[in-house]
A and B are shown apart, each in its own frame.
Chain A
Amino acid sequence: MQNTREIAFTLNGEEVSHRVPVRQHLADFLRHELGLTGTHIGCEQGVCGACTIRVNGRSARSCLMLAVQADGCVVETIEGISQSGEIADLQHEFIQRNAAQCAFCTPGMLMTAADLIGGKEPVSRDAIRDHISGNYCRCTGYHAIVDAIESTLNKRLASDKSNPHHG
C-alpha cells in the first residue's frame, strides 16, 4: 500500500488539492500528475537547476522538495509566470539573443533570472553570472543568457526612470 497524503496549495494562482505519495518529489508531481512539464529534471540532486520553480516567492529546486512539503504553499512554475506576463520581456530577450538552444535549462534559468530583474539597481555581468551559477546550461556557453538578463534589467531600469511613479 502506498503511503499517501492529502495536500492543498496555491499553484499558479489557483487553489489545488491532491492526494500524493509521500515519497514523491515536487518536480515529479508537477510534471507527471499535473502535466506541468515545463519544469524539467536534469539531475534530481539539486545541482543543475533545471527544476527551479518559485515557492512562497523564492526560487526553489523542485527536485529537492517533496510534494507533501508544498502543502499550504504558494507555488509558481514557468507556465504560471509565462501566462501572467511577468517575464514576457525577459523571454523576448532570450528569443532575440538566442539565449536558449535546446532550451532544456531555460525554464529553470528564467525562474532564477526572474529574481534578478525585479530589482531597482543595475547588476554587473559578474553578479549576473554568479546569480545564475546554480543553473547549468550545456548548450549556450552562458554569454547570451547574461546578455539577455542584463538587457532586460537595463530596459526595466530605464523605463522606471522615465515613469518614476510606476517604479
Chain B
Amino acid sequence: MDNQRPSDRESIIGKSVPRSALRQLVHGRGRYTDDIQLPRMLELVFVRSPLAHAKIVNINIDDALRQPGIAHIFTGADIAEICKPWNGEAAHRPNLKSAPQYPLAMEQVTWQGEPIVAILAETRAQAEDAIDHVFIDFEELPAVVDPHGALEASAPLIHPDLGTNLADEQLIEAGSPDEAFNKALHVVEADFTFGRQTGVTLEPRSVIADYNSGSRSLTVYQSHQSPFQMQDLYAQNLAIDENNVRVICPDVGGAFGVKLHIYGDEVAAVASSVLTGRPVKFVADRMESFVSDTHARDHRVKARMAVSANGRIQAFEVDDLSAVGPYGHARRFSIVEGLQTITSAAAPYKFKHYRGRTRIVYQNKNMIGMYRGVGLPIACAVGEQMVDLAAAAVHMDPLEFRRQNYIDDDMYPHTTATGIHFEQLSLHQCLTQLKALMNYDELRQEQQQQRERGIYRGIGIATFIEQTAYGSRYYGPTEARVSVQEGCTLKLEPTGKVRCLTSATEQGQGTTAGIAQIVAEELGIGVDDISVIHGDSGTTPYGGGSWASRGAAMAGEAALKAARQLQSNILEVAAALLDLAPQELTLSRSRICLKHNGQSCMELEEVAKIGHFRQDQLPADLQPEFAVTRSHVPRNDVPPYYVANGVQASYLEVDTHTGIIRLLRHWAVDDCGRILNPMIVDEQVRGGIVQGIGGALLEKCHYDLQGQMLNASMADYLVPMASEMPDIHVEHVETPTRYTQLGAKGVGEAGTIGAIGVMWCAINDALRPLGAQVKEQPFTPEVILDALKQTHQ
C-alpha cells in the first residue's frame, strides 16, 4: 500500500510513540483485579497441602465453620459437584498421559501447595484465621522428586491409573547420526542441569467471580492473558451458557506465561461464587504464588556434537529429561518445553544428522507450564554451549565458528534436521552487526590482557530463534479449544475519533499501543485519536489473547485489515459527498485528501458526523458502515508459526575466589520482523534479557527430598535487582514475514530465550583457561566454586 500514500502522510508505524496507557498507570490510577471491590463480596483463602504426596483420609471443617465471619467452606467434593475436571491430554498424541485435574484435591494431594479446602469469609483476615481450624488427616506417601528416580521401577506411581510416571516420550531422527558420529574427527559432549524457576509476576494471580443466580450469568475479573480461554472453560466446566459468561482482564501486573494457565484455585473461586451466589475474591499471597504459580524448566540434558577437522558441524544429538510436576497443564500441555528443546537446539546451524529424544516425567512438585520462552531458552543454552565446545575442539574463534556453520543466506526457505521451517532468518547480518556493536576484536584483546593479570572475564555469544504466534495447524489437532485467531473491531465515532476493540490482551508489553499505531497509520489519524479496549470477552472480537509473542503479529494483522476496510468505508461516504471516486481519495491528518496531490477536501470529522447524524445528505443506496470487524488466522498452507531470530552477547567477570559474577556489558541484535515501535521492542528485549539473567544466575525453586519447597518467599527466591544488572544495548535487523501484510513476527520472549545461553557461554569462556566448566544453572557462587574445585581434583 506504500505507493498509495501521499508524500505528506507521516508514517506512525516504526516510530517510538510513548504508550498512552502509561498516563494513568504512572499516577497510580491503574485498575488491577485486587483494586476492584464488589458489594457483598466474600474473600477466599485456601488450605493447601503441607505434603508433597499423601492420601486425604478425612477433612473436618466443623470448628472452622464456627469461627467469626466465616460464610462457607468448600472441599474438593463440594466443588466437583458443579465443576467438571480438566485434562492435559492432546488428541493427536495418544501416548501422552495425564490424569484428570479437579479444582481442589480429591482423594490425594500430589504437590506441596495443592489447594484442598476453600474458606470464604467476610474479610480475608477472618478467612486466614480459620485455616488453623480446618483439620485434615493425611496418610503420607513417598514423594517422587528426582526426575531420573521417577522412572525407576521402584518409584511410587503418582497416578496409579496411568500405570507409569512417564507422561510421554518423543523422538526425532534425521540422516544417519550414528554413522556420522563414528566417522567424525571430534566429538564433544556435555551434560546440563536446568533448575526449576518461576515467573514471579509482581502482581500475584488474582480473580473476582460474580455469579448472578437470577440471570444465571457469570462475570469474572481475572488477572489473565486469555479471557476467551477462561470464558470457554467456565462455560464448559461449570455448565453455564457461554453467552452469559464474561471474563474481563483489567490491568495485569505482569504475566510471562504464568497467567495463561488454568489454575484449580482460580476455578474454585469462580465455582464458589456460583455455589454462594455472592461475589468472591481470591488473591494469591506471595507464599502461595511460589507453590502454585506455574514453574518452568527443570531439565536434565545430555548432548553431543560431531565436528570435522575444518570446523563443520556434522551431527548433533540431544537427550532431554523434563520433569513437569504431577499433571500436564490442560490446553497447553507440559510436553512443549521438551519438544522445543529437541527441535530448536542448534537449529540455526546446518547439519544433516540428528537425533533428539525427550522424556517427560511426572513428579510430586508444583506443575510446570509455559513461562516466557518455554523450552527455547533450554534449546538455546544447549545448542550454543555445544557450539562453543566444538569451536574450542578445533581451536576456532567461537564467533567465526558460528558464522561458518550458520544456515547460509541463500538456503531459505529452509527446513532444519530438527524439523523447523524457516521462512527467512537474518543470522549472518545479526552476527555481523553484533560484532561491530560490541567491538568484538578489541574485547578479546582486553580479555586476554586481563587474564594475564589473573582476572577472568568471559565473552559469551548466543544465537537464538523464536517460533512465534503458533497457529491452527499446531493447536487444532490437539482438540485443545485454544483460539489462535485474533480479531479487531474499529468504530468511527461521530467526531472522527476511533475506538478499537482488540482480542489481544495487555500485560504491559505495549501490544495495544502498537495496534493503535497500525490503525492510526492506516486511517491517517493520530494515536491519541484512538482508544483501545481490550481484555473483555464480552465486548471484543474472539481471539487467543497474548501469549507466544503473538500480539503484534496476529492482532496487529487483524487491526490492519479492519483499518483498511474502515478506511475504504469512510472514503466511500466521502466520495459520495465530494462527487468523486473513492479511489481518488485518501485519509491523512484527519482529513479526506486528494490522492494525487494531497490537497485537503474535507475533515474526517465532517464525514463521521454526516455518516452518523445526516444520512439524509447521502445517496439513497449508500449505507455508512462505520463499525468494522476483521479477524486474522494464519493460512493453513504455511508453517504454523513465524520464526524470529537474534543474537546476544555478554561480557562478565568471574571472581574465582568468591564465585561471584559481575555483569559488565550485554548486547542484543534482534530481528522480530516488522517493528511497530522500536522503543517498545527495545524494552521487551531488555526486560526479557534481565528475566533470563535472573534465571541464569539467581532464580531456583529449591526443594528438599520430601518435595518441600524451601525458598517460597520473595526474600529467599532471588530475582534480579537494579544494582546487579548491566545496561543493555539493543539493535535491530528487520526481516518482515511475507506471510502477512504487516510483517511483524514477535518479540516478547526473545530476550529471555537468549539470556541463559549467553550467560552459560560467557561463564565457561571465562573459566576455560582454568580448565573448569559449569554444567548446572543457576550459576550461583556455589556452582562456580564447585566447578573450579573439580579442576583441582
A and B part of one assembly: yes
User: Which A residues contact B (CB, under 8 angstroms)?
Assistant: 21, 23-24, 31-32, 36-45, 47-48, 50, 77-79, 82, 91, 94-98, 100-107, 110, 125-126, 128-130, 132-146
Task: Confirm or deny: B728 has a beta carbon within 8 angstroms of a beta carbon on chain A.
Answer: yes
Q: Are B507 and A102 in contact (CB under 8 A)?
A: yes
Inter-chain contacts of A95 with B (CB < 8 A): 18-19, 22-23, 26
Q: Are B719 and A141 in contact (CB under 8 A)?
A: no
Inter-chain contacts of B721 with A (CB < 8 A): 133-134, 136
- What are the nearest 4 A-B pairs in CB distance? A38-B28, A104-B253, A102-B508, A101-B508
Residue on A nearest B69 in the bound complex, by CB = A2
Inter-chain contacts of A77 with B (CB < 8 A): 28
User: Which B residues contact A (CB, under 8 angstroms)?
Assistant: 18-19, 22-23, 25-32, 34-35, 37, 125, 199-204, 251-256, 285-286, 507-510, 679-680, 682-683, 686-691, 713-715, 719-725, 727-728, 751
Inter-chain contacts of A146 with B (CB < 8 A): 722, 727
Point out the residue from A24, A104, A135 that lies within 8 Å of B203, measured CB to CB.
Answer: A104
Inter-chain contacts of A140 with B (CB < 8 A): 683, 686-687, 690
In whole angstroms, how far apart are the Cα atoms of A130 and B26 in the complex? 22
Sample of 28 A–B contacts (CB below 8 Å): A31-B34, A37-B35, A38-B28, A38-B30, A39-B28, A40-B32, A40-B203, A43-B715, A45-B713, A45-B715, A47-B713, A78-B28, A79-B28, A98-B22, A98-B679, A100-B26, A102-B203, A102-B253, A106-B28, A132-B722, A136-B202, A138-B256, A139-B254, A141-B688, A141-B728, A141-B751, A143-B686, A145-B722
Residue on B nearest A87 in the bound complex, by CB = B26
Instruction: Given A37-B35, A43-B714, A138-B200, answer yes or no on A104-B254 (Cβ-Cβ < 8 Å).
Output: yes
Nearest-CB distance from A26 to chain B (Å)?
15
In whole angstroms, how far apart are the Cα atoms of A110 and B34 in the complex? 21
Inter-chain contacts of B37 with A (CB < 8 A): 32
Q: Are B722 and A138 in contact (CB under 8 A)?
A: no
Q: Are A50 and B202 in contact (CB under 8 A)?
A: yes
Nearest-CB distance from A146 to chain B (Å)?
7
Instruction: Given A102-B253, A104-B254, A132-B722, answer yes or no on A47-B26 (Cβ-Cβ < 8 Å).
Output: no
Inter-chain contacts of A96 with B (CB < 8 A): 18
Q: Are A44 and B251 in contact (CB under 8 A)?
A: no
Instruction: Given A38-B29, A106-B25, answer yes or no on A138-B691 (Cβ-Cβ < 8 Å).
Output: yes
Point out the residue from B199, B715, B724 that lies within 8 Å of A47, measured CB to CB.
Answer: B715
Q: Are A94 and B686 in contact (CB under 8 A)?
A: no
Q: Are B27 and A38 in contact (CB under 8 A)?
A: yes
Q: Are B125 and A23 in contact (CB under 8 A)?
A: yes
Residue on B nearest A107 in the bound complex, by CB = B28
Inter-chain contacts of A133 with B (CB < 8 A): 721-724
Residue on A nearest B253 in the bound complex, by CB = A104
Q: Are A78 and B19 in contact (CB under 8 A)?
A: no
Nearest-CB distance from A107 to chain B (Å)?
4
Point out the residue from A24, A37, A132 that lies within 8 Å of B28, measured CB to CB.
Answer: A37
In whole angstroms, how far apart are the Cα atoms of A127 and B45 in the complex? 41
Inter-chain contacts of B202 with A (CB < 8 A): 40, 42, 48, 50, 102, 104-105, 136-139
Inter-chain contacts of A142 with B (CB < 8 A): 690, 720, 722, 725
Q: Are A42 and B25 in contact (CB under 8 A)?
A: no
Q: Are A103 and B25 in contact (CB under 8 A)?
A: yes
Residue on A nearest B726 in the bound complex, by CB = A143
Q: Are B715 and A21 in contact (CB under 8 A)?
A: no
Nearest-CB distance from B665 to chain A (Å)?
12
Inter-chain contacts of A102 with B (CB < 8 A): 201-203, 251-255, 507-508
Point out the residue from A21, A48, A101, A143 that lies within 8 Å of B727, measured CB to CB.
Answer: A143
Residue on B nearest A96 in the bound complex, by CB = B18
Which residue of B35, B508, B683, B722 has the most chain A CB atoms within 10 A of its CB atom?
Answer: B722
Point out the residue from A23, A82, A125 that lies within 8 Å of B27, measured CB to CB.
Answer: A82
In whole angstroms, how far apart are the Cα atoms of A82 and B24 in the complex? 10
Q: Are B508 and A103 in contact (CB under 8 A)?
A: yes
Residue on B nearest A105 in the bound complex, by CB = B202
Instruction: Given A136-B721, A142-B725, A143-B686, answer yes or no on A44-B285 (Cβ-Cβ < 8 Å).
Output: yes
Given contacts A102-B254, A110-B26, A138-B719, 20 further A-B contacts (CB under 8 A): A37-B35, A40-B32, A40-B203, A48-B202, A82-B27, A95-B26, A96-B18, A98-B683, A102-B201, A102-B253, A104-B30, A104-B32, A128-B722, A138-B202, A139-B202, A140-B687, A141-B688, A141-B690, A143-B725, A144-B683
Q: Are A129 and B723 in contact (CB under 8 A)?
A: yes
Residue on A nearest B725 in the bound complex, by CB = A142
Q: Are A43 and B286 in contact (CB under 8 A)?
A: yes
Q: Are B728 and A143 in contact (CB under 8 A)?
A: yes
Inter-chain contacts of A38 with B (CB < 8 A): 27-30
In whole angstroms, how far apart are the Cα atoms of A50 and B724 in the complex? 19
Point out the residue from B18, B199, B252, B253 that lies within 8 Å of A40, measured CB to CB.
Answer: B253
In whole angstroms, how far apart are the Cα atoms of A97 and B18 in the complex? 7
Inter-chain contacts of A100 with B (CB < 8 A): 22, 25-26, 508
Q: Are A129 and B725 in contact (CB under 8 A)?
A: yes
In whole angstroms, how far apart are the Cα atoms of A157 and B465 in the complex? 44
Residue on A nearest B715 in the bound complex, by CB = A47
Inter-chain contacts of B680 with A (CB < 8 A): 98
Q: Are A101 and B201 in contact (CB under 8 A)?
A: no
Q: Are A82 and B508 in contact (CB under 8 A)?
A: no
Q: Are B725 and A47 in contact (CB under 8 A)?
A: no
Inter-chain contacts of B510 with A (CB < 8 A): 98, 101
Residue on B nearest A103 in the bound complex, by CB = B25
Instruction: Given A37-B35, A45-B713, answer yes or no on A141-B689 (Cβ-Cβ < 8 Å).
Output: yes
Inter-chain contacts of B690 with A (CB < 8 A): 140-142
Nearest-CB distance from B266 to chain A (Å)?
18
In whole angstroms, how far apart are the Cα atoms of A162 and B690 in the complex? 38
Inter-chain contacts of B35 with A (CB < 8 A): 31, 37
In whole angstroms, how far apart are the Cα atoms of A91 and B719 in the complex? 25
Residue on B nearest A90 in the bound complex, by CB = B26
In whole angstroms, how far apart are the Cα atoms of A82 and B713 in the complex? 31
Inter-chain contacts of B723 with A (CB < 8 A): 126, 129-130, 133
Inter-chain contacts of A125 with B (CB < 8 A): 727
In whole angstroms, how far apart are the Cα atoms of A15 and B231 in the complex? 45
Nearest-CB distance from B293 to chain A (Å)?
12
Q: Are B254 and A41 in contact (CB under 8 A)?
A: no
Which residue of B28, B125, B689, B690 has the most chain A CB atoms within 10 A of its CB atom?
Answer: B28
Inter-chain contacts of B720 with A (CB < 8 A): 141-142
Inter-chain contacts of A44 with B (CB < 8 A): 285-286
Nearest-CB distance from B288 to chain A (Å)?
11
Inter-chain contacts of A97 with B (CB < 8 A): 679
Inter-chain contacts of B203 with A (CB < 8 A): 40, 42, 102, 104
Residue on A nearest B31 in the bound complex, by CB = A37
Inter-chain contacts of A134 with B (CB < 8 A): 721
Residue on A nearest B29 in the bound complex, by CB = A38
Nearest-CB distance from B436 to chain A (Å)?
21
Inter-chain contacts of A132 with B (CB < 8 A): 722
Q: Are B714 and A139 in contact (CB under 8 A)?
A: no
Inter-chain contacts of B22 with A (CB < 8 A): 94-95, 98, 100, 103
Inter-chain contacts of A145 with B (CB < 8 A): 722
In whole angstroms, how far apart are the Cα atoms of A129 and B202 in the complex? 19
Q: Are A141 and B686 in contact (CB under 8 A)?
A: yes
In whole angstroms, how far apart are the Cα atoms of A52 and B509 in the complex? 24
Nearest-CB distance from A79 to chain B (Å)?
5
Inter-chain contacts of B18 with A (CB < 8 A): 95-96, 98
Which residue of B286, B510, B724 has the most chain A CB atoms within 10 A of its CB atom?
Answer: B286
Inter-chain contacts of B253 with A (CB < 8 A): 40, 102-104
In whole angstroms, how far apart are the Cα atoms of A84 and B713 in the complex? 36
In whole angstroms, how far apart are the Cα atoms of A137 and B725 in the complex? 12
Inter-chain contacts of A42 with B (CB < 8 A): 202-204, 286, 714
